[in-house]
Amino acid sequence: MTHSTPPSPPATRERYLKDFPQQFLLNLKGLFSKQNLLPMLIGVGATATTTAFDDPIKDFFYGHERLEELGEAGSVIGNHLVVAGVTGGLLLSGYLSTDPRHRSMMFILAQGYAVNTTVTAAVKVTTRRLRPDGENRVSFPSGHTSTFFTWATILDHYYGRKIAIPAYLVATLVGISRLESSRHFLSDVVAGAWWEEPSSEVPNPWNRSGE
């Protein structure tokens, strides 16, 4: 999974929202740094490999109606309006918080969503891959999957595996739900899972005091 190494997010309320656009541009640029070259090549290789299993996996989920509820749950959780609303709430909670560490993490999560959404949308309109259900041509990569894996990775940096493991599990279930609902191929989900880890590098993220 790729990552960027931007300057640390602002720690004061005065700069918290003001610096969001500038930080977004730095994070976006950071995704294409030299240190991300190897992870990107590995991700591309994994995505290319899984294309061979796209049709078999599609047929598997098509024949298992018992998994229908999982697909519906993933669609609700990953709905763009729901995710955007949660992101706005997280950013606001960070602004109102007096804990620098919490404020930093909320800023990073919002940055991650913004960068992920921008890059994923650009790839979608460029590749124009037809969805398994044939509805439109924005199948690749899975935006639902990429958003939740981005957040899970950021939580990993701040809180470690105890929080990250459940977060990664939720992200995986969201990815599986997109397969079940015939909204994505396996390779779309794999691409979404490795695509990026924006805004994860912060000064001493393991420091419980947030300093």
Average pLDDT over residues 27-31: 84
| Inter-residue contact 104 to 95 (CB < 8 Å) | no
Q: Which two tokens stand for residue 76?
A: 């609700």
Closest CA to 186 of 172, 166, 170, 167: 172
CA torsion through residues 81, 85, 90, 94, sign: positive
* Per-residue CA distances from 29 to 69, 119, 197, 210 (Å): 39, 11, 13, 26
What is the rounded CA–CA span in Å between residue 28 and residue 111? 10
C-beta atoms surrounding 117 within 10 Å: 18
**Is pLDDT of 11 > 80?**
no
pLDDT of residue 177: 87
**Is pLDDT of 51 > 90?**
yes
What is the rounded CA–CA span in Å between residue 155 and residue 173? 17
Q: Which two tokens stand for residue 120?
A: 């994923």
Amino acid at 172: T
pLDDT (tens digit per residue) in 58-70: 988 876 665 666 6
Q: Which domains does the chain have, with CATH numbers?
A: 13-194 (1.20.144)
Which pTM value belongs to this model?
0.82
pLDDT of residue 64: 65
Average pLDDT in the chain? 82
Average pLDDT over residues 179-189: 93
Amino acid at 180: E
pLDDT (tens digit per residue) in 134-182: 999 999 999 999 999 999 999 888 888 899 999 999 899 899 888 988 8
Average pLDDT over residues 194-202: 51
pLDDT of residue 204: 34
CA angle 55/141/191 to nearest 5° reads 80
* Per-residue CA distances from 149 to 31, 95, 101, 125, 189 (Å): 15, 24, 21, 21, 10
Q: Is 183 exposed, middle or buried (0-12, 13-18, 19+ CB in 10 A)?
A: buried
